[in-house]
Chains A and B, each alone.
Chain A
Amino acid sequence: MNQMKGNKFREIGKRVPIRDAASKVTGRKIYVGDMKLPGMLYAKVLFSPKAHARIKSIDTSRAESLPGVRAVATYKNTPQTRFNSALRFIEHKIPNTERIFDDTVRFVGDRVAAVAADTLEIAQEAVKLIQVEYEELPVMMTVEEAIKEDAYPIHEGGNIVGQAHVEAGDVDKAMEECDYVFEDRFTTQLIHHAAVEPHVAIADWSYDDKLTIYSPSQNTFGFRVILSQIFNLPYNRIRMSAPAIGGAFGGKLEMTVEPVAAVLSKMTRRPVKLEYTRRECIFGTRVRHGSIACIKTGFMKDGRIHAVDMKFYNDTGAYATSALNVSGAMSHKVFKAYKIENMRFHVNPVYTNTIVAGAMRGYGSPQAYFGLERQINKIANFLHMDPAWLQEINMVDPDSLDPCFHKPHGNPRPKDCLRRAKELIHYEDICKEQEESRDGRYRIGVGVALGVHGNNCFGAHRDVTTLMLKMNEDGTCILYSGSHDMGNDNVGMQKQVVSEVLGIPLDKIDTVEADTDACLWHLGDYASRGTYVVGMAAKKAAESMKKELQKEASDLLEIDPEQVELYDDRAWDSTQEGRSVSIAEVMLHCQRDSMRELCCSETHPAPRGPSSYGVHIAKVQVDTETGKTKVLEYSAVQDVGRVINPLALEGQLAGAIHMGLGYGLMENITYDAEGNPQETCFKQYQLLSASDMPKLYMDFVAEGEGEPGGPYGAKSLGECPVVPCAPAVVNAICNAIGAEIDSLPANPEAVLRALGRTTD
């Protein structure tokens, strides 16, 4: 671990297992799917078998008369309010295209109706009894079809949802100044998040008109806004709670099952559980946006990149949801990587009759950086230069300016990541192996890629978190955090920060989490904002509490409050060595003598939007007969400012590599001619297995004081490391075989095609 030298901290930098690990290894952690409420009903959804159709008639009578069926919901008896499942906060404005149920279905997997029954079996039986007649509408499965001028509009206003456009310098003029200009078309596929926990919600609409929903949501406060719009309930009548999350990766950031369970609970006034099967999760929730990109890069003979022009179409699927958010995020993230003065990014998200695309780890970056990094590899090969060297001369430096907004990047360390990644994998040696295997059946390839991701929503919309801290009279404390812990231990990180400030050990800090009635407003857990924003909010709340504890302790120690230091679970007299009182004594004094309760909250708005960086190097072996790729070794080094919990970061980084390599090599959702998704279970939708994973070399660079504005200089890991994986591994394959693959995934068929070994 390449930690900052001389750790001056007590808690920051410690290897801490996730705080609920013991519950999880014993099977005692209760997820929503494990919960049962008294009188609970079970729901099942009827999904559209048609890619695009109007419902001519729907007959629910047979379903309703089945014994044990308590409610059948369709567009006819449910609120027809249009909403956007990706809404984040009360004044957020994004296109409202969704309804709980609509009279039109826009993809195979769209919701048609739902049943609540005494048992799941009865609900399953009942949905089969619902008879629907469809009037088919024109189907557009690809962006190319959907953007045609005479294309049938999937939503009013046409199939182009909107645009995002960002420009720096004078791109057209700069292109003319370049020695060479490369232009390529890149495409990326739809993929499934594959959190092992399926989407599930239990809704309980009481006769007192309080709607309580338990679901593994990444954005309880955002869901409350949408539920309020749909059901016309004030916020005090909606409680969203996320008791546990079995993986999310963005797939649980947008509302899916919750309003269905809620409407059935409203109709029956009983708790209703709706849990999707894997098949339903794959087609009925969200996927990563597919994309088509035209990327033009102008460069000089010496390898300097002078201008980049990127034009994207994102396939947003059947509903708007995150279309504009992802496009907006993409359009900014490409400006953070290289010293390129002249750069233009344009994107149009487009409706098609495919699965709804939404938030997924990386949020536009994986698509943008796939093309960009592939093209840089091509340029290096064309100039007979080492791709790593070409990367290095173009990468941003610390304290340099963003070419677009002329604001400081902060402390970006991609060059340190590159140096360390090369060291770890013995870069020169593996490049030699690549040369030596040139003519064999099994070729060795080496690929390098940079990935960049942000740390919050600064510049896009407000990004604020408020945390609350309460002391108990025995000197222990409770942190009230709106954070949703998806397994990355972001809440544990907050505890470490609180412990560092107050000197109270971790096992004396507990948490209340992700509950709209119990916690203060929180933007939601996305945009990799957990460390930089929420971690800083934890620091502020703890510092506020520290002042109160110093004040109370100063009574007992008979010194000024500023002379009190807190560590080792005690308050110390800094003027006299060895003199101290325990925090428990301080709190007893506080409650008994001062007659005060201590509860502090602090709000932290993101002060700026720094980026996190990762450089990954893949070494692959490609079988030129079968097209199969084996990733042999993989080096991944990330710039995270300062490491708060190395144990958690290593696990998260390894998971990102698994997800990113799957994106590069195999994961893919395809369709037949009628618009039916073809990969709807884990047999068909394959992920890398434990044996497929390469030998990993992972590290973090944390130079100087880290990232300005982060807690102790820390910034995110989160989404960033999923960005460089696909281009790194595909660059390695292309360098091995001496041919180009510009479409994901680079599966054996794609490799054979690139080698000219197939007929199609």
Chain B
Amino acid sequence: MKNIKFEINGEWKQLEIQESWSLLYIIREVLGLTGTKCGCQDSCLDGGCGACVVIVDGEAKRSCRIKGCTLEGARVLTIEGVADGERLHPIQQAFIDAGAVQCGFCTPGMVMRAKALLDKNLSPTEEEVRQALSGHICRCGGFQKIVEAIILAAERMRGESDER
């Protein structure tokens, strides 16, 4: 067991963890934050589904590929930390409005990827958005509406779109 201290959704946590635990395991099984999904489990060393993407120190990362013991001092943001209380984040609202949500299983990872992208670049081109989604799978909607949602969110966050 190892003792680590890291920030999760704005709150510092001190945890006793096993060396083998992934960040995904800690998020879902230890902290009970089940918004982050898992679509591959043990099978891939790289490549994968992207459903488990969270933001670690400002970067979108697959939480299944991060060892918990490397997290000392890290700042982790999961889907549960994106909305401001009752108020949805503009990216979340854009996903709803653009029809980017279908079965919803890939959605949390997609929202986190979009947030990491837009936090750095509020004017991505469509190709930059598509490149950003390269490690994600959306089997229901073929990415189309998700790409549109991220571009819509960027417009709104730049203040160019009237709605919201």
A and B: bona fide binding partners: yes
Do A21 and B140 have beta carbons less than 8 Å apart? no
- Separation of A275 and B36 alpha carbons in the complex (Å): 16
Do B139 and A27 have beta carbons less than 8 Å apart? no
Q: Does A511 touch B at the CB level, under 8 Å?
A: no
Q: How many residues of chain B get a CB closer than 8 Å to chain A's CBs? A: 59
- Separation of A690 and B50 alpha carbons in the complex (Å): 12
B133: chain A residues within 8 A (beta carbon): 689-691
A647: chain B residues within 8 A (beta carbon): 99
Min distance, Cβ A28 to any Cβ of chain B, angstroms? 7
- Which B residues between 84 and 116 are near A, CB-CB below 8 angstroms? 88, 92-93, 95-97, 99-108, 111
Given known pairs A648-B99, A681-B40, A682-B48, the reply for A27 and B137 (CB within 8 Å) is no
Q: Does B61 touch A at the CB level, under 8 Å?
A: no
Question: Per-position contact with A for B13-57: 1 when CB-CB < 8 Å, else 0?
Answer: 000000000000000100001111111111111111101000000
Q: Does B63 touch A at the CB level, under 8 Å?
A: no
A247: chain B residues within 8 A (beta carbon): 102-103, 105, 139-140
For the complex, would chain B's binding face be called helix, strand, loop or mixed by DSSP majority?
loop
A18: chain B residues within 8 A (beta carbon): 99, 101-102, 104
- Separation of A29 and B35 alpha carbons in the complex (Å): 8
- Which A residues between 632 and 667 are near B, CB-CB below 8 angstroms? 647-648, 650-652, 654-659
- Separation of A655 and B99 alpha carbons in the complex (Å): 12
B104: chain A residues within 8 A (beta carbon): 18, 20-21, 23-25, 29, 244, 246, 487
Report which of B33, B51, B107 forms a contact with A24, defined as CB distance below 8 A: B107
Q: Does B73 touch A at the CB level, under 8 Å?
A: no
Do A26 and B80 have beta carbons less than 8 Å apart? yes
A486: chain B residues within 8 A (beta carbon): 103, 140
Min distance, Cβ A282 to any Cβ of chain B, angstroms? 8
Min distance, Cβ B122 to any Cβ of chain A, angstroms? 19
Question: Per-position contact with A for B122-164: 1 when CB-CB < 8 Å, else 0?
Answer: 0000010111011011111111111100000000000000000
Do B139 and A655 have beta carbons less than 8 Å apart? yes
Do A488 and B102 have beta carbons less than 8 Å apart? yes
Do A24 and B142 have beta carbons less than 8 Å apart? no
Min distance, Cβ B97 to any Cβ of chain A, angstroms? 7
Q: Does A30 touch B at the CB level, under 8 Å?
A: yes
Closest to A489 in B: B102
- Separation of A673 and B46 alpha carbons in the complex (Å): 26
Q: Does A34 touch B at the CB level, under 8 Å?
A: yes
B101: chain A residues within 8 A (beta carbon): 17-18, 21, 24-25
B34: chain A residues within 8 A (beta carbon): 27, 30, 33-34
Report which of B49, B100, B131, B143 forms a contact with A196, defined as CB distance below 8 A: B49
Counting chain B CB atoms within 10 Å of each CB, the highest count among A27, A278, A487, A681 belongs to A27
Question: Per-position contact with B for A221-250: 1 when CB-CB < 8 Å, else 0?
Answer: 000000000000000000000001111110
Closest to A276 in B: B41
Do B39 and A198 have beta carbons less than 8 Å apart? yes
- Separation of A357 and B36 alpha carbons in the complex (Å): 31
Closest to B34 in A: A34
A245: chain B residues within 8 A (beta carbon): 103
Q: Does A197 touch B at the CB level, under 8 Å?
A: yes
Do B103 and A657 have beta carbons less than 8 Å apart? no
Counting chain A CB atoms within 10 Å of each CB, the highest count among B28, B40, B103, B130 belongs to B103
4 A-B pairs besides A681-B44, A693-B130 with CB distance below 8 A are A248-B103, A487-B105, A683-B47, A696-B144
Chain A residues at the B interface, C-beta cutoff of 8 Å: 15, 17-18, 20-31, 33-34, 193-198, 244-249, 275, 277-279, 486-489, 647-648, 650-652, 654-659, 680-683, 686-691, 693, 696
User: Can you name 26 A-B pairs with beta carbons within 8 Å?
Assistant: A18-B104, A24-B104, A24-B108, A25-B92, A25-B101, A26-B35, A26-B88, A26-B92, A27-B35, A27-B78, A27-B79, A31-B105, A246-B104, A247-B102, A248-B103, A278-B40, A486-B103, A487-B103, A487-B140, A654-B144, A657-B142, A658-B142, A658-B143, A681-B43, A681-B44, A683-B48
